Amino acid sequence: MQISLTLWFSIVIRLSELEPATADDSVQFKIVGGTVTEIARTPYQVSLRLKQIDRQQFGRGHICGGTVISQRLVVTAAHCLYDGRSRNMRSPNDFVIIMGNSLLQIRSVLMQQYNVQKLMSHPQYNPTNLQNDIALLFINGFVPWKSIVRALPLARVTAVVGTPCLISGWGSTINGGTSSQTLQSATVPVISQTDCSAKYGYISAAQLCAGYMSGGIDSCQGDSGGPLQCHNTLVGIVSFGRYCAAQDSPGVYTNVVYYVDWIKQMNRSLDYSYYSGDVRTVVCSKLAVLAIFVAVVRY
């Protein structure tokens, strides 16, 4: 890991401003240089939120993006799961996932909301150099495919240099800005490992760069964990960059192809028939069953 110290201080994780959390206080968050889009065009995109904050004001809890990859599975960046201050991993109950919704702060009739049953951060995730910046969220429900939400298939081969890919999210539209109210997207080409390493010091095979050396179009704070979609497959996960859309500073993404085996292995370990919800929900349903039982016995 050869990210130099100077570089490290200007490198920002693309987590939302809510959690300045990183080595850099000037953390920023949203797609820069993109255009307004709708969830129907990126139906696999989710908004990962902190439940408590989102309950106070819908949309305020947004910290990261994510991608639906199976009926109960969402993939995001590992750094999205950690509390920036304590550096501890949060618990499943801290999160809520919003799907099928274009606007950050307004619920549409197509919106779906899920609790998280299990968090699976990559065991070799390194918060210092952001290697293995990938995590899975096992949601507490089945996404109905007849809804607007769709899974994005995992990439099977590494995208060739120059491939046009779509990035999307509610991250900041300017370097240092706040989350975007509208879902934004932009097209960025894949950049070679060599060219990217030349700019960042070291980029591993498990990472991938996309964007423009000239700057202008890039993912930003609040886009972390979101998709880099190429040829209708999930090729990358928004991880970090030096500022946003700056010259000679393309976006760095977790290279999904590299983690397909890990994802499948984790997915196989999950029990798709088991649901454990909010403790409160469970208690309520038990009480309801008890009430019905009592009612039956009385008669």
Q: Which residues pair with 183 in a beta bridge?
A: none
CB atoms within 10 A of CB 231: 12
Among 71, 14, 31, residue whose Cα is nearest residue 225: 14
Among the listed ranges 118-126, 133-141, 261-269, 280-288, the one in contact with ligand NAG (CB under 6 A) is: 261-269
Q: Are strands 62-70 and 35-36 parallel, antiparallel or unpaired?
A: unpaired
Pick between residue 47 and residue 233 the one whose CB is nearest to ligand NAG: 233
DSSP 226: -
Closest CB 264 distance from ligand NAG, rounded Å: 5
* Contact range with ligand NAG by CB under 6 A, out of 7-15, 56-64, 127-135, 262-270: 262-270
Angle at 249 between CA 248 and CA 252, to 5 degrees: 140
Segment interacting with ligand NAG, rule: CB under 6 A, options 22-30, 101-109, 224-232, 260-268? 260-268
Say whether residue 69 binds ligand NAG (CB under 6 A).
Answer: yes
Establish whether 218 is a catalytic residue. no
- Told to check if 264 binds ligand NAG by CB under 6 A, we report yes
Q: Which is nearer to ligand NAG, 12 or 73 (CB)?
A: 73
Q: Is 133 a catalytic residue?
A: yes
Smaller CB distance to ligand NAG: residue 70 or 158?
70
Assigned token pair, 268:
């196989």
Residue 145 touching ligand NAG (CB under 6 A): no
- Integer CA distances (angstroms), 238 to 226, 229, 299, in order: 5, 11, 59
Size of the site for ligand NAG (CB under 6 A): 6
Could you give the string, one character per residue 20-59, with x where binding to ligand NAG holds by CB under 6 A and - elsewhere? ----------------------------------------
Contact between 184 and ligand NAG by CB under 6 A: the answer reads no
Catalytic-labelled residue, pool 47, 79, 168, 185: 79
Taking the complex as a whole, the smallest distance from the CB of residue 191 to ligand NAG amounts, in Å, to 27
Contact flag: residue 272 with ligand NAG (CB under 6 A)? yes
3-state secondary structure of 45: strand
For 117-182, the three-class secondary structure string (H helix, E strand, C coil) is EEEEECCCCECCCCECCCEEEEECCCCCCCCCCCCCCECCCCCCCCCEEEEEECCCCCCCCCCCCE
CB 120 within 8 A of CB 135: yes
Q: Does 274 bind ligand NAG (CB under 6 A)?
A: no
Distance CA 14, CA 220 (A): 5
224 among known catalytic residues:
yes
Cα angle vertex 37, ends 35, 43, to 5°?
Answer: 140
**In the bound complex, what is the minimum distance in angstroms from residue 139's beta carbon to ligand NAG?**
12
Distance CA 200, CA 185 (A): 24
Q: Kindly write out the interface string for residues 70-109 of this chain, putting x where it contacts ligand NAG by CB under 6 A and - elsewhere.
A: x---------------------------------------
Q: Kindly list the residues in this chain that would bind ligand NAG in the complex (CB under 6 A).
A: 69-70, 263-264, 267, 272
Please list the active-site residues. 79, 133, 224
